Amino acid sequence: MWQVAVDGAQTTAVFEPATSGKSAAVFVAGHGAGSHRDHRSMVQLAQVLRGRGFGVVRFNFLYREQGSGVPDRMPRLQACFSSVTERVRHHRLVPPFTVENGLLTPSQKIRRALVLRTHVHSAEEAEAE
């Protein structure tokens, strides 16, 4: 378990390597507002990703680490996520630019789906021309 410094506070994170060969990339998994690092959904997500060749880092946002159920404001959430991601990069667990941030909130899932759909649609249009 890692201790990660975030703006004068600390949180904990857990790195789990891929179970199917060497980790080619690391997925940094941040929990949703009603969850925490060790919630069964986070553990299940980690198991699936690890079986597909990803290392996974699960962590608590500061508010959860401090025992609160009320999420911090976005700048503090982002600072926490960035600190954990930098810790992954610092330990050189994988080559540069292979860290995937995974905020597990509905708005993030929707935004990512829209972005991916837009890119797929654009690529299909380019191939048709």
pLDDT at 15: 92
pLDDT at 116: 53
Instruction: Find the Cα–Cα–Cα–Cα dihedral 91, 101, 33, 19, rounded to 10°.
Output: -70
pTM of the full predicted structure?
A: 0.72
Rounded CA-CA distance 111/124 in Å is 20
User: 23: helix, coil or strand?
Assistant: coil
pLDDT at 39: 92
Q: In what order do the strands lie in the sheet with 54-59?
A: 2-6, 9-16, 54-59, 25-30, 99-103
* Residue-wise pLDDT tens digits, 74-117: 889 888 988 998 888 887 666 544 445 555 454 455 555 555 55
Q: Tell me what the mean pLDDT of segment 26-46 comes to.
A: 88
pLDDT at 53: 87
pLDDT at 78: 86
Domains and CATH numbers, the chain: 2-104 (3.40.50.1820)
61 band by pLDDT with thresholds 50, 70 and 90:
very high
- DSSP conformational letter for 71: P
Rounded CA-CA distance 30/25 in Å is 16
122 band by pLDDT with thresholds 50, 70 and 90:
very low
For residues 89 and 19, the model is more confident at: 19
Nearest to 60 by CA among 48, 69, 50, 49: 69
Which residues lie below 8 Å from residue 96, measured CB to CB, with a gap of 6+? 89
Tokens 């810790």 identify what position? 87
pLDDT at 106: 45
